[in-house]
């Protein structure tokens, strides 16, 4: 059934239960109270620290936006782009788009003006909903997006070239528009990370969204007694699909606009959060803050917190070991997925498999997996190959890109581009991205293995290993190392630490720098490759080795 039916069921059966809460620590620092008021239109003079809506509020607002779209000629098959920071309006707008029979097109809030223009054009978006953080970027391109017929602004002071969302929605009917939807109808276009240039448009049907919801609830057993803390951006499949578990279970979720260790713990404590999804850098920061004494767990009510799950990139086993030392009563899960397979869940570890930390797990609820060679044949257990997945959440296609679609869709199977191996118990371990494999002197190096090792070093906060072109060896492994605050060590210290690795796996050079990550926590290696380019210095030393 379409995902919208879960929302309508919750509004019908539990109308007065809290559905969503927005917590904004930035405003709390100004002295505003924890529970100031419920949902109202934001104003320039008074912005709430904490806002909330019930399930009936959520559904009625989605209906109003659907009717607003229909009144503006936006309906079945049309595309509506959403360019908002996480906020209480985000999800009602998303569901309003679906209820109108249109396709939701979430946009990355880090996109430049030109990337926004490109994605609007590629997706054939007819309408753009944007927030105050994006006024300057939208103003730059507003005269060069001919397919976009309407601009709606979600904010206090509406620019003259857009229409005020709050003003117009207040005049719209809250009655369900009654647009018939099926699982086979197109529902959304998401964008790839764009690590090889401009992003690709990923088309999904309603079946994908519904399966993501059922998969998440099956994996983490959400009930009405749970409360989910959501911090990653809602434009990404990861955050939204994890929230879908709350939608299925009719349980509240907290949208925290901030990721500092203090406010994660404060929000878990005050809002009685039971489930937290973290990215690797945030988990690392929280553990480091505890070790430094910046926060004390004794200051918070955390007994109800039952599950921490993590994903979006390979998870160092050393990080989970540290986490379980600090939070020994937590369940832990790792989730693997990609936007082409509707976010997390096509592979997951399972809370009962803590002894397999380091693996991403087995095929998730309703999914199948294979590990294949370059000819599409299954490899033997223990051998490295490309991970392929099949299930109801596989994308329909890359929109307007048949060639790219044919590269990754082979019958029912989606080729992920991730290199992996499977152990004798059937658990899958990520080795690296296919395009990130480093070939040095004829040997294949998998950066993730080196990165996991280096993250166990007491001085290292984060690390990225990239291949740098070398005239004799083809490539060498270069480790970009970000040190913990206050840590002091030399390149030779890191090299000495790496002496425990097999010689061919040791990085050939150490570069101290900040490791860039995107909003979903993935290392932005293209930026590092562009920044550091080919090896020019130290070639004689490298050749001598």
Fold adopted by 437-544: GMP Synthetase; Chain A, domain 3 (3.30.300)
For the ranges 81-90, 105-114, 434-443, 469-478, the one whose mean pLDDT is highest: 81-90
**pLDDT at position 31 over 90:** no
Across the chain, what does the average pLDDT equal? 88
Does the domain made of 306-433 have the CATH classification 2.30.38.10? yes
Whats the size of the chain, residue-wise?
A: 545
| For range 407-423, the mean pLDDT | 93
Nearest to 339 by CA among 454, 224, 417, 222: 417
353-366 pLDDT, tens per residue? 988 888 899 999 99
Higher pLDDT residue, 208 or 110? 208
pLDDT of residue 540: 39
CB 494 within 8 Å of CB 454: yes
**pLDDT at position 5 over 70:** yes
Domain ranges of the chain: 4-258, 306-433, 437-544
The CATH architecture one would assign to domain 4-258 is: 3-Layer(aba) Sandwich (3.40)
Nearest to 340 by CA among 398, 285, 386: 398
135-168 pLDDT, tens per residue? 999 999 999 999 999 999 999 889 999 999 999 9
pLDDT band at 442 (very low <50, low <70, confident <90, very high): low
**What does the alpha-carbon distance between residue 507 and residue 465 come to, in Å, rounded to a whole number?**
8
pLDDT of residue 9: 98
**pLDDT at position 195 over 80:** no
pLDDT of residue 370: 97
For the ranges 26-40, 309-323, 424-438, 503-517, the one whose mean pLDDT is highest: 503-517
Q: Within 13 A of 184's CA, how many CA atoms are on the CB side?
A: 0
pLDDT of residue 130: 97
**What does the alpha-carbon distance between residue 100 and residue 96 come to, in Å, rounded to a whole number?**
6
Question: 314 CB contacts (<8 Å, ≥6 apart)?
Answer: 430, 448, 451, 452
210-253 pLDDT, tens per residue? 999 999 999 999 999 999 999 988 998 888 899 999 999 999 99
Lowest mean pLDDT, pick from 148-152, 383-387, 485-489: 485-489
Nearest to 35 by CA among 271, 225, 259: 271
Please give the backbone phi and psi of residue 457, each rounded to the nearest 5 degrees, phi first: -75, 135
**How distant, in Å, are the alpha carbons of 211, 264, 388 from that of 23?**
29, 11, 39
């Amino acid at each position: 059934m379409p995902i919208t039916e879960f929302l309508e069921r919750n509004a019908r059966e539990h109308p007065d239960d809290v559905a969503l809460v927005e917590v904004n620590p930035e405003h709390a620092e100004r002295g505003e109270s924890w529970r100031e008021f419920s949902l109202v239109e934001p104003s320039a003079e008074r912005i709430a620290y904490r806002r909330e809506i019930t399930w009936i509020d959520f559904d009625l607002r989605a209906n109003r936006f659907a009717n607003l779209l229909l009144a503006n000629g936006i309906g079945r098959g049309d595309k509506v782009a959403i360019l908002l920071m996480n906020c209480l309006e985000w999800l009602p707008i998303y569901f309003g788009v679906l209820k109108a029979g249109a396709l939701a097109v979430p946009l990355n809030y880090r996109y430049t003006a030109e990337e926004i223009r490109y994605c609007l054009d590629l997706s054939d978006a007819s309408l753009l909903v944007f927030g105050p953080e994006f006024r300057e970027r939208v103003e730059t391109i507003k005269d060069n997006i001919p397919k976009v017929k309407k601009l709606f602004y979600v904010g206090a002071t509406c620019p003259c070239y857009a229409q005020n969302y709050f003003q117009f929605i207040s005049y719209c009917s809250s009655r369900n528009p009654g647009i018939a939807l099926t699982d086979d109808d197109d529902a959304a276009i998401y964008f790839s990370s764009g690590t090889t240039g401009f992003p690709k448009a990923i088309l999904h049907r309603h079946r994908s969204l519904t399966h993501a919801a059922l998969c998440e609830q099956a994996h983490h057993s959400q009930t009405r007694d749970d409360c989910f803390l959501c911090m990653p951006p809602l434009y990404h499949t990861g955050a939204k699909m994890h929230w879908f578990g709350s939608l299925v279970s009719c349980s509240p979720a907290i949208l925290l606009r901030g990721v500092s260790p203090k406010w994660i713990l404060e929000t878990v404590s005050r809002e009685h959060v039971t489930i937290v999804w973290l990215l690797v850098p945030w988990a690392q920061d929280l553990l480091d803050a505890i070790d430094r004494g910046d926060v004390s767990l004794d200051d918070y009510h955390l007994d109800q917190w039952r599950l921490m799950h993590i994903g979006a990139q390979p998870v160092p086993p050393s990080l989970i070991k540290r986490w379980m030392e600090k939070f020994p009563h937590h369940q832990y899960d790792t989730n693997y997925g990609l936007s082409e397979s509707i976010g997390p869940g096509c592979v997951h570890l399972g809370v009962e498999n803590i002894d397999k930390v380091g693996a991403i797990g087995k095929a998730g609820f309703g999914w199948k997996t294979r590990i294949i060679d370059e000819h599409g044949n299954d490899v033997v257990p223990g051998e490295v190959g490309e991970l392929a997945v099949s299930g109801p959440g596989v994308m329909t296609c890359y929109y307007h890109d048949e060639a790219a679609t044919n590269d990754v869709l082979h019958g029912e199977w989606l080729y992920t581009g991730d290199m992996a191996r499977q152990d004798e118990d059937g658990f899958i371990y990520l080795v690296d991205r296919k395009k990130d494999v480093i070939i040095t002197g004829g040997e294949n190096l998998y950066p993730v293995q080196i990165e996991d090792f280096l993250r166990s070093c007491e001085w290292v906060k984060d690390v990225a290993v990239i291949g740098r072109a070398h005239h004799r060896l083809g490539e060498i492994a270069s480790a970009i190392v970000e040190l913990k605050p206050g840590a002091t060590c030399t390149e030779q210290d890191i090299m000495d630490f790496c002496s425990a690795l097999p010689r061919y796996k040791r990085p050939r050079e150490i570069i101290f720098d900040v490791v860039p990550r995107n909003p979903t926590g993935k290392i932005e290696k293209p930026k590092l490759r562009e920044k550091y380019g080919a090896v020019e210095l130290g070639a004689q030393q490298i050749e001598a080795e």
